Structure 1
Amino acid sequence: MRKMIKLFRLVFLTIFTVFLISCTKNNDINNTSRKNISLILRTSYGYHWGTIKMGAYAAAREFNVDIDYTSPYDEDDVNEQINLVNQAIEKKVDALILGVSDYEALSESIERAYKQGIPVIVVDSEVDTEKVNSCILTNNYEAGKKAGDVLADIIGKEGKVGIINYDKEDRNAQLREEGLISAIKKYPEVKVAAKEYCFSDMKQAYNLAKKMLSENPDIDAIVALNEVASEGVAQAVDEMKLKGSVKVMAFNSTFQEIDYMDKGIIQATIVQNPFNMGYLSVKYALDSIEKKEIDKRIYIDSRVIYRDNMYLPENQKLLFPFIK
């Protein structure tokens, strides 16, 4: 299975690189009839955002539009993202697609774009303004509830659990945690023994997990609420030789997470569909440019994937989005 994962990784990286190069070449063609859509994500780093970008470029090719992509490297660099949005507005792009880095801070720039008649599509996260044409995202509260129910199930609905979230201030992180806690409360024999925040730092997640397990040796499982936290927790459980005795409930599906699941270190993960988010963001941006009516809020379903069903065809399409 691990050979298959390595093969998928190699194929994915090859396809992704060739795909983006071809899109860049297409964007260099001076064609005034093509709409120009600015894509500004939270960060240029990471599998999740890269897959959103890949979905957006797939839609751009299909609908014959140009993507002007740029993003901060650091997802916490809110000021840089605001600057990028303002630059896109000054360039008079036909539409904006944003993966906002802060629930409140981007509102002013978004409202400025809206006033200038530039459609705004928000992808993956919410924003504190109604001046958007559509918001395309995972229902993070419901995803958190799914994680809580699965977490309870894999420990037999009794025991102690730890939580490692990735940010105290991030809206998605807050909603996932709220949903998680609401689900755990349904199981009176499941107790939260510890909770920490790694601030999307894998090394910190790893150290926090080791500390949590050392201070609470009776913990039965840890739930991690994004891919960075998940990788750090899984590494700690693996190195401490606690495979099987400490269950890991993960979020998302990086190649490293898939490898840990294949090894039996991660028991289950909540998988989003970032490729679909990116694809639909371009489709609805174009619909907005053409003054078509679109839904104000679109939730993309998340799915629970376990080790024993991770290679089913319908799950491979989520884990490896280049598979058709």
Structure 2
Amino acid sequence: MSRTWWKWVIYAGSIAALIVSASFTIYCAWKVYAYHQPGEGAAAEAEKNAFHFVLVPEELDNDYWRLVEQGAKAAAKETGVYLEYAGPRQANIDEHIHILEKAAASKVDGIMTQGLTEKEFTPVINHIVEKNIPVVTIDTDAPTSKRTAYIGTDNYYAGFIAGRALAEDMHGKANVAIITGSFTASNQQLRVQGFKDAVKEEKGIHIVAVEESHITRVQAAEKAYNILKKHPEVNAFYGTSALDAIGIAKVVEQFHREKGTYIIGFDTLPETIRYLQKGTIHATVVQEPYEMGYRAVKMMVDIRKGNNVPSVINTETKVIRKQDLPLRPSRNYEVNHD
């Protein structure tokens, strides 16, 4: 055979290989395109029927809100809906409202969030609802807004039982300082008011100071330090947000006043539990964040399906002490960081 013939064979083989390669590339590209297009079958039907919800917390990486997120995700998985979890890294009302507005602009099927303040949140919620996007408030209600429903703690009641617990544990005699997460957030206001109403008939209980922590450990500790410097007679603290009692406990230990200072706080963050086990924190008000998230998603599905839902569902709230540990079911108290 001549060299010319071999060259022709090699050239023809190369052309054939190029054709096969090009055909395979085109086939793969078509498969990728087809995968993302609406089509027949169960998968396409599920995609068409799925709801898209957004959960907007006060603070994205707060362990309390991570528990709400875990409950919401569990319900989303069960019901086949797509759930986004988006919010400020640290509590910031302007950023919070901006995220709500973005979610509404993207035409999601439902939004779950807090109604932190009447002045800022009620108009935003009303505007979202007017776009035919239902809103369910979690943890903090906006009762005068057009929200469809609220699910979460009765915050006035939570403050009231905290006040009764302190009165009982201190035998009706205490000089109390209150550190609250926010002077403007309605849930914090209700927790303070409930507490005050619970102790107002106790002649031996005096509220010496009320300070704001802006929902940070650092400022809670700073305010506790200043209170103890200015009012050494204070022998009891009440913290109304999840981080307040933690900051208070650190300062009380620095002053070596663990045995003479009573602390009652909110929630069951790991640090709170450790201080409770040590005896620095004496009691804490327990909420059900996982249940709030779980039931909010289920409720939102019912709303989108046209089913009637109650306007208010209050999850369980109670005061626990060291002897009540460990708490069960753990899903409401232990964050899964996986």
- TM-score band, normalised by shorter chain: 0.7 to 0.9
Change (3 A) 1:180 1:34: same
Change (3 A) 1:89 1:211: closer
- Aligned-pair identity (%): 26
The 5-angstrom pairing of residues 1-324 of structure 1 reads 31-76=47-92, 78-127=93-142, 129-311=144-326, 313=328, 316=330, 318-320=332-334
What is the SS of the residue equivalent to 2:166?
helix
User: Could you tell me whether the CA contact under 8 Å between 1:138 and 1:272 is conserved in 2?
Assistant: yes
1:65 and 1:218 map into 2 onto residues whose CA distance is 54
Letter in 1 for 2:55: L
Using the TM superposition, give the Cα deviation of residue 195 of structure 1 relative to its aligned residue in structure 2, in angstroms. Answer: 2.1
Aligned to 2:17: none
Using the TM superposition, give the Cα deviation of residue 194 of structure 1 relative to its aligned residue in structure 2, in angstroms. Answer: 2.2
Q: CA RMSD in A?
A: 1.8
User: Could you tell me whether the CA contact under 8 Å between 2:123 and 2:145 is conserved in 1?
Assistant: no
Alignment deviations for residues 55-87 of structure 1 (CA, whole Å, 9 cap, x no partner): 1001101111110221122322x2322222222
Change (3 A) 1:292 1:321: farther
Alignment deviations for residues 18-61 of structure 1 (CA, whole Å, 9 cap, x no partner): xxxxxxxxxxxx92321111222222121111111111001101
Alignment deviations for residues 204-260 of structure 1 (CA, whole Å, 9 cap, x no partner): 211221221233223221111111111100111112111121011111111000000
Using the TM superposition, give the Cα deviation of residue 317 of structure 1 relative to its aligned residue in structure 2, in angstroms. Answer: 5.4
Letter in 1 for 2:245: S
Alignment deviations for residues 84-137 of structure 1 (CA, whole Å, 9 cap, x no partner): 222222222111112244332132332222222221111111226431111112
What is the SS of the residue equivalent to 1:227?
coil
Letter in 1 for 2:68: I
Change (3 A) 1:131 1:198: same
**Corresponding residue pairs, total:** 291
Structure 1 gap ranges (5+): 1-29
- Taking structure 2 as the reference length, the TM-score comes to 0.81
2:81 and 2:177 map into 1 onto residues whose CA distance is 46
**For structure 1, which segment, 296-305 or 256-265, has the greater mean C-alpha deviation from structure 2 after superposition?**
296-305
Q: Who wins on radius of gyration, i.e. which is larger? A: 2
Letter in 2 for 1:320: E
Change (3 A) 1:102 1:130: closer
- Taking structure 1 as the reference length, the TM-score comes to 0.85
User: Could you tell me whether the CA contact under 8 Å between 2:52 and 2:83 is conserved in 1?
Assistant: yes
Letter in 2 for 1:272: Q
**For structure 1, which segment, 278-287 or 160-169, has the greater mean C-alpha deviation from structure 2 after superposition?**
160-169
Using the TM superposition, give the Cα deviation of residue 272 of structure 1 relative to its aligned residue in structure 2, in angstroms. Answer: 0.8
Letter in 1 for 2:128: A
User: Could you tell me whether the CA contact under 8 Å between 1:104 and 1:127 is conserved in 2?
Assistant: no
2:94 and 2:223 map into 1 onto residues whose CA distance is 29
Using the TM superposition, give the Cα deviation of residue 312 of structure 1 relative to its aligned residue in structure 2, in angstroms. Answer: 5.3
What is the SS of the residue equivalent to 2:228?
helix
